[in-house]
Amino acid sequence: MGATLHHTKAIILRSIPYGDSSLIVTAYTELFGLQSYLVQGIRKASKQKASVACFQPGALLELVVYYNSFRQLHRIREFKWAQLYRNLFSDITKNSVLLYMVELILKTVRQPESHPDLFHFLEDSLLELDHAEVATIANYPLFFSVHLSAFFGFQPNEKNPDSGNLLDLQEGIFTNATPLHPHYAQGKVVVALKELLKVRLPRELTEIPLTNTVRREALQVLEQFYALHIAEFGKMKSTAILQDVLS
C-alpha cells in the first residue's frame, strides 16, 4: 500500500542531523500523533538556514506529509509556520520553560496515535506561554505538568479541598493517611499542587504566590510522580537549567 498525502499541524519536538544535509525530525501531529520524518537536503545551502529554523523544538508548523501506516519514517512534502511566535525562542526564560515542556512531551507521548484533544492542549499551552506575562512564567512549568497528566489518566482529582494534606504519588490521590510506601508529598508543596489543579487559564497563575523553594520542590515531586506512572520515564535533564533560570 502506497503513501497518501495529508495536511496536518505539527509541534516539532526534536531534530537530529542525518547525513551531510538532512534532518530526522520527531513531531507531534494533529492527525497522526507522534511521528518521525526525514527532511532531505534542508541543511545543504546557506540560503536554507531559515528553513532549518522551522524545525527547532517547539516550532508549530503546517505540514503536507506522505503517510504510510506500515512505515516508521515518513516524508514531508511541504512545510510552513503555522504560528510565528512573538518571543518564545528569543526570551531566555520562556525558552527554558519551552524546552522543559518539550522534554516532558517526549518522555510521555510514545505512540503514533491520533489524540486531537492532547494536540490542542499542547498547541494552546505553547501559544499561551508565548503571550504570558512575566508574573505567570515562573509557575507555568508546574501548571503544564499538572494538567498534562490528565491525558494519561493519573492526574490527582482535587474536587474536595479537605480531601487530605498528603499526596500519595503512587496512587495519585490526596489523603490524610500516611502511605506505607515512601512515595508521597506533604506540606506547602501539596497546598501548591491543589491550587494549580484548580487553575484553568494561565493568567490565573498570578494568584498563586509561590517561593522558589516551594516551586523547586513541586517540580521534583511532579518528576517523581511522572516516573511512577510512565514506564522508563528516566530523569528530566531540563529541570536543573529551568530552576536556575527561574530562581
Q: Where are the domains of the chain?
A: 4-81, 92-246
CA distance linking residue 14 with residue 27, whole number of Å: 7
pLDDT at res. 176: 92
Q: Are 58 and 98 in contact (CB under 8 A)?
A: yes
- What element of type H or E holds 213? helix 212-229
Other CB atoms within 10 A of residue 12 CB: 22
- Mean pLDDT in residue range 113-129: 97
pLDDT digits (tens, 9 = 90+) for 65-91: 999 988 999 999 999 999 999 999 999
pLDDT at res. 163: 74
pLDDT at res. 83: 93
- Say which CATH topology domain 4-81 has: OB fold (Dihydrolipoamide Acetyltransferase, E2P) (2.40.50)
- Mean pLDDT in residue range 22-29: 96
Q: Which of 105, 162, 141, 130 is nearest to 220 (CA)?
A: 141
CATH number of 92-246: 1.20.1440.120
pLDDT at res. 46: 55
Average pLDDT, the chain: 92
